[in-house]
Amino acid sequence: MKKIVTFGEVMLRLATPDYLRFGQARELTATFGGGEANVAVSLANYGMETEFVTRLPQNDIADSCVRELHKYGVGTRHIVYGGERLGIYFLETGAVARASKVVYDRAHSSIASIEQGVIDWDAVLAEADWFHWTGITPALSQGAADVCLEAIRTANRLGVTVSCDLNYRKNLWKYGKKASEVMPALVEGCDVILGNEEDAEKVFGIKPDGFDAAHTGGEVDAAGFESVCRQLQGRFPRAKKVIITLRGSINANHNTWGGVLWDGARLFASPRYDITHIVDRVGGGDSFMGGLIYGLLVWPEDDARALGFAAASSCLKHTVYGDFNLVTVAEVENLMKGDGSGRVSR
């Protein structure tokens, strides 16, 4: 069995119910989530061995979070403890023309005060096949960026495949560094790069001509992103594959969804899914990444199939409440075969 290690922050998620606005809600629904933890849960659901690495405070909320990860089969034996608190994010789910909103409360979180040498990456990655991180982690603090780089360099030395989701979050880069200053050194060590049009533009100044994410009308030209893939691979030649997710936003409840994969010679495009009644789009990119890692490990010679699995698994995530994508391989493969009817399974 393949083993995947992910590293990043997991948070308490507090969401308003029933499309209520923050000012209307009198109660909040508590779950847990975070980019790299979301990927680990997806892969555990697909039967992969996973290990999630982070830093948590020693309190009951952190213990509840670890138990939640255990429930889905995610390994946590390399989590380190210390620091002040678990980060929180508040979610107000949008509807139709009203966009969703996220408010972060993660300053001084345990992982933000992490330092190099705290995690024994040689031990963590000794039996790993894959290491995954996202651009959210180095946005938290210089220490988190340093530890992430430490992990990437260890993985490179040990021959472990490294993937990243660029995941640009403008509201997180507050410690005096810009993403464009920090990210290149980390992405240089990556074998697989995932992002969307905003990530590539905001971090590296790379964008497709004539594309405006706010005015897609649901139509996204996949071929137009080949230049983005080529430019990213040209800047980071270690990368064997570059993947761009393609979201066409008709409104907050209705999106089109798919992706493209560039292998250095050929551009593969996934089927385009028309998601008409979104339940929860948070974690959509993470579910795509989880599906992609699974596909590339299971079908290493079939990039088209791996990409198709990623797109289908992420399409299904839009029907699942919470950050985690709680679907099975069989459900994803049924959708890949064209079974999107939603008929009751008896």
> 59-68, 84-93, 216-225, 326-335: which range is least confident on average?
216-225
3-state SS string for 217-252: CCCCCHHHHHHHHHHHHHHCCCCCEEEEEEEEEEEC
Give the C-alpha separation, 257 to 247, whole Å. 5
For residue 231, how far is the Cα from the chain centroid? 22
| Per-residue pLDDT tens digits for 47-96 | 999 999 999 999 999 999 999 999 999 999 999 999 999 999 999 999 99
State how far the Cα of 337 lies from the Cα of 335, in Å rounded to an integer. Answer: 5
Contact of 9 with 136, CB cutoff 8 Å: yes
Return d(Cα 75, Cα 217) in angstroms, integer: 41
Collapsing DSSP states into helix, strand and coil, what is residue 159? Answer: coil
Tokens of 21: 């606005």
Average pLDDT, the chain: 93
pLDDT in tens, 127-157: 999 999 999 999 999 999 999 999 999 999 9
pLDDT tens-digit series, residues 249-277: 899 999 999 999 999 999 999 999 999 99
What are the start-end ranges of the H helices in the chain? 35-45, 60-71, 121-124, 137-140, 142-158, 179-187, 197-204, 226-235, 284-298, 303-317, 329-336
What SS3 class is residue 66?
A: helix
Give the architecture-level CATH label for domain 3-331.
Answer: 3-Layer(aba) Sandwich (3.40)
Give, for 255, the enclosing helix (H) or strand (E): strand 254-262
- Domain edges within the chain: 3-331
- pLDDT the model gives residue 224: 76
Q: Categorize the per-residue pLDDT at 216 as very low, low, confident or very high, splitting at 50, 70 and 90.
A: low
The length of the chain is 346
| Cα–Cα distance for residue pair 137/143, rounded to 1 Å | 10
Q: What is the bridge-based pairing of β-strands 254-262 and 80-81?
A: unpaired
